[in-house]
Chains A and B, each alone.
Chain A
Amino acid sequence: MLVTLSILLENKPGALMRVTGLLSQRGYNIESLTVARTLDPSLSRMTIVVDVETRLRPHLMKQMNRLINCLQANDLTEGPNVVRELVLLRVRAAQENRTAILKESEIFGARVVDSSVEGYALEATGDSEKLDEFIAVMATYGEIEVTRSGAVAVSLEPKKLRLSPPIPKAQAEPVATHK
């Protein structure tokens, strides 16, 4: 089943690879993945949509949480959450279609980000199904080119973040460096 994971991880080289590695080693295909740094620049927030065997979900989450770079991994699939995606779409528009395209864009709450003789570049956000529909509608007007951001999600229930405190390193006697 498709699950939506939200992962808070250290913003370090290789951290992303550890997360995706857990998925790829099982042969899971990632449907979408977004990652960006958080307010704290030392951390990143990642949203992954991935097809996971239902039975293995809890175990996968435990293994995600076991990653040393991972501060918190949550499965948002079932809890209250908001999932949004952004699509950038270019549509080639003949003269007689241009007004219709603008009307249709309005219905989907899309914005025009570029307009040229060839057509429009449009930007829309929403949940994936809505965007699917938007794309399908636009395709009826002419040739389209689409880039989707993949899902970003936020949980609507508070998640307690438990972080390990610094551990004092027992100071061994200063060692005379051997000459």
Chain B
Amino acid sequence: MSTLMSGARILVECLVREDVDCIFGYPGGVTLPLYDVLYDHPIRHVLVRHEENAAFAASGYAHATGKAGVCCATSGPGATNLTTGLVDAMMDSVPVVAITGQVTSKLIGSDAFQEADTFGITRSCTKHNFLVKDINELAQTVHEAFYIATTGRPGPVLVDITKDVLQGQAHYAPVHEIHLPGYKLVTEGHAGQIRRAAQMMWEARRPYVYAGGGIIAAGASPELQELVEALDAPTVCTLMGLGGLSSSHPNFISMPGMHGSYAANMGMYECDLLIALGVRFDDRVTGRLAAFAPHAKVIHVDIDPAEIGKNRAVDLPIVGDVKKVLTKLNKHLKELEPTMKESRAADRAEWWQVIRNWKEEHPLQPVFSATEIKPQHLMHEIDRLAEGRAIVTSDVGQHQMWAAQFIRFNEPRLWINSGGLGSMGYGLPSAIGAQMACPDKTVFAIVGDGGFQMALPELATLVNYGLNVKVIIMNNGYLGMVRQWQELFYNNRMSSVELSAFPNVELLGAAYGIKSRIVHTPAELQSALKECMEVNGPYLMDVRVSQYENVYPMVPAGGAINEMVLAQPQPVAVPK
């Protein structure tokens, strides 16, 4: 089959073949041919209000579905605006395919109107990128882009297409194979290593599972649960891995790391075998590396060989898809169970007792007050409504940490946030992407008053598409996390962190036609949240929380993971 088609039509044909049902984008001069095809095409195009948010929305879509999220921007400023979203997807290993227009081939390099070196600029923002100047390479390239974005360690891939390619005509025939000789995928895991891992796991006295975003990317939650239950091992899920093991599972402790719970971090410190699955030993988890899990042997399973031994020396590395590796590993664990389980029972009971003691000593508990809304209280109330089943998105900062601490995620793909890059303004657009992907799910966008203002234009998108996103602004009047660091490490000299002149959200909501409410007191909180759930459509809630609440526990930067600051140090810093 070969049909004469325009480049734009070939592109859309390829998108259809990649099962794309939704694109987040913003049109412009050089993408006009593409938008002309999209005009009456069944693929939905969501018109965001800023290209950065197109990338964030595509990331939210990808997080919620596991499929590639697609975003689209024009040349020059459109493409440069995408970059933060691409780096974000890179850091969190999210499959995003970005399509950008480029000026006509002949004009490249001539400082043409809206020309930017997108290919060069996004080299380091993407897993891989392409520049298409020949229409005959377009179809192959688009399919390669999707293949690279969604296989191995997922990541963003950008395809920059010149206007003459989009406008030109060529014979299109479906692509039959992908050939990327240098794209080395190791998925199966070394059989001998897997066998040895099973042996080590049974032999350990204090095993500890450290599960990350890789579990979710690989869809390995059932296998993880099987492993955890077979070994009866305590388990922590990283910020990116929350929901990988249900937060309601008895073996789940909490998130570890800088703002992890006391028990989660002490467990990391005291375990004798760290079973690291789809994680990257991020500095926000490990604290000072020399003092991280100092008594433990480490088994590290990851699909990216470059992660093995990057930060922490590994005793037993397994490169492979964590789902495939765990499936095999679970078989070996089962085989060894009859000879090992009984002899380990006493050790395990002792280990759990230690962990229970830590949990009792310093439990992770929400804080309440009768006079002001504590941010933890807000998260607690949202958790009650979400019941571990709602999609929750967030920006970066205090609200993100409290949400991660107090909201349960009983399934994977519910918790969507900017982890590695820590991009403000991620919560609202990613909620748009998630809501487009899962129209039947409740989606909360929990944002700070800072991040909210970075994503403000997307309120129009919510209205435009009638998206049922509950935007909950945790408003403490400050860039809370930066203020917390200024308080703790810079003598409370609050430099440029006060966000005064925050708009009146009720007027703002009215201006956009979004139902909205400002909540001042703890007494109103429950009814307000109930009201927001009853509204079918977007809702904007400005929750005024305590201004100077800090996130604890906290491992100060460069500190050891077992040396947490558990509560406000004395004397309490006095705000100016």
Contacts and interface: CB of A to CB of B under 8 A. Distances in A.
B1, B17, B129, B309: residue with the most chain A Cβ atoms closer than 10 Å: B17
A163, A174, A177: residue with the most chain B Cβ atoms closer than 10 Å: A177
Interface in A116-169: 162-169
Interface in A1-54: 9-10, 13-14, 17-18, 21, 25
Interface string B18-37: 01000000000000000000
B41 to A, nearest CB: 5
Interface of B: 1, 3, 5, 9, 13, 16-17, 19, 40-42, 119-120, 123-124, 127-129, 131, 143, 147-148, 174-185, 304-306, 308-310
B121 to A, nearest CB: 11
Given A59-B306, A167-B147, A175-B16, A70 B182 contact: yes
A177 B13 contact: yes
A103 interface: no
B123 A21 contact: yes
A171 B178 CA distance: 12
A87 B26 CA distance: 53
A67 B16 contact: no
Interface residues of A, number: 34
Identify whether the interface residues of A are mostly helix, strand, loop, or mixed: loop
B409 to A, nearest CB: 30
A175 B183 contact: no
B185 A164 contact: yes
Nearest to B130: A14
B41 A178 contact: yes
B177 A166 contact: yes
Contacts, number: 85
B182 A68 contact: yes
Given A68-B183, A167-B179, A175-B13, 13 more contacts: A25-B124, A63-B306, A65-B184, A66-B184, A68-B180, A71-B181, A162-B184, A164-B182, A164-B185, A166-B177, A167-B147, A169-B143, A178-B41
A163 B181 CA distance: 5
B504 to A, nearest CB: 44
B39 to A, nearest CB: 10
A107 interface: no
B342 to A, nearest CB: 41
A71 B182 contact: yes
Contacts of B1: 174
A66 B176 contact: no
A162 B185 CA distance: 11
A167 to B, nearest CB: 5
Interface string A70-102: 110000000000000000000000000000000
Shortest 7 CB-CB contacts between residues of A and residues of B = A62-B306, A166-B179, A163-B181, A166-B177, A71-B182, A167-B178, A68-B128
